[in-house]
Amino acid sequence: MLEATLYRGSPGWLPCFRPAPSKMCQLLGMNCAAPTDVTFSFTGFAARGGLTDHHADGWGIAFFEDKACRLFVDHQASATSPLAEMVKRYPIKSKNTIAHIRKATQGHILLENSHPFMRELWGRHWIFAHNGDLQEYEPDLDGSVYHPVGTTDSEKAFCVLMQGLREAFPGAQPPLPELFERVGELTRDITDHGVFNFLMSNGQALFAHCSTRLHYLVRRWPFSTAHLVDEDLSIDFAKYTTPEDRVAVIATQPLTDNEIWTSFEPGELIMFQCGDVAARMQIPVPECVLEKLRNPALDASASAPCGTQHAALAAGADDDSDDSIDF
């Protein structure tokens, strides 16, 4: 299935609106029945990294190819990153893709703090990206196989997830239903510390957890035209798909304005496989996190939206790291 064949200009019947800027990092995931490129979705998503939204503190994307993946990360804003431009023009096909644009809450604007993060478990790569803020989260990683390279709460949480899975199943990976149950147990412990929206994949399935905000849609036959929220860009999927194609797209905020997106319930953990929902469970959400959902001004990961690309990029100007952007 292709996302790469696009056309500019929306058909006359399509609505044209843009939601208010998000006050968090943003996540994008894609799980497919057949290898599919993410060019269309990533084009809109990348614009939120400093152009239509203020997530200018780095970005990254990972494409699985069987048990290994291609990982691209950059501490520059995705809206102006030459590497992001390459990804938009190079249709890499994958059954599982995870991308992230960062609005820093913990850790400097450095390459080692850019999501997604990658680790090995049971002879496969695992990829993880997080949106939220885990206050005063200092897990005990003494004796752990996994340790953070950077300084984010996100990478610490990923190390805890990986170590927990490794200890629960020391010999080999269990069947996916058992794996899903253990992911849920580990997630329950971490979410007590704050906002823990995340995407994680081992190339076989994609796990998505929502503390506050996350949306998804499943594209299936018969396919139709989709139009991006963040760019005047459309694609007619019906021209490039078959009845066997099926794609689940997960995003913090909907990427298109003419498709029906489903909101995750707070605390919902979903496993996507072969482009559809394979399993789901509900995990209790602390009241303090629900209060942040009701009142985003209480969220430590929130900041005032920037009205222009220049203002968005200037958000990191006081950081002492090498995060300059060429216009």
Residues designated as active site: 25
Radius of gyration of the chain (CA): 19
Q: Is the dihedral of CA 290, 293, 295, 296 positive or negative?
A: positive
As to burial, measured by CB atoms within 10 angstroms (0-12 exposed, 13-18 middle, 19+ buried), residue 279 is middle
DSSP element (H, E) containing 74: strand 68-74
Q: Is 249 helix (H, G, I), strand (E, B) or coil?
A: strand
Q: Which residues of 115-137 are buried (b: 16+ CB within 10 A; e: fewer)?
A: bbbbbebbebbbbbbbbbbbeeb
Q: Determine if the peptide bond prior to 35 is cis (ω within 30°).
A: no
Residue 69: other Cβ atoms inside 10 A: 23
Q: How far apart, in Å, do the first and last CA atoms of the chain sit?
A: 34
Q: Measured between alpha carbons, how far is 10 from 14 in angstroms, rounded to an integer?
A: 6
What's the order of all strands across the beta sheet hosting 7-8? 7-8, 233-236, 225-227
> Which residue type is seen at 181?
E
Q: Measured between alpha carbons, how far is 152 from 134 in angstroms, rounded to an integer?
A: 9
Task: Give the tokens for residue 187.
Answer: 């997630």
Q: Measured between alpha carbons, how far is 18 from 40 in angstroms, rounded to an integer?
A: 17
> Which residue type is seen at 281?
M
Q: Measured between alpha carbons, how far is 213 from 195 in angstroms, rounded to an integer?
A: 10
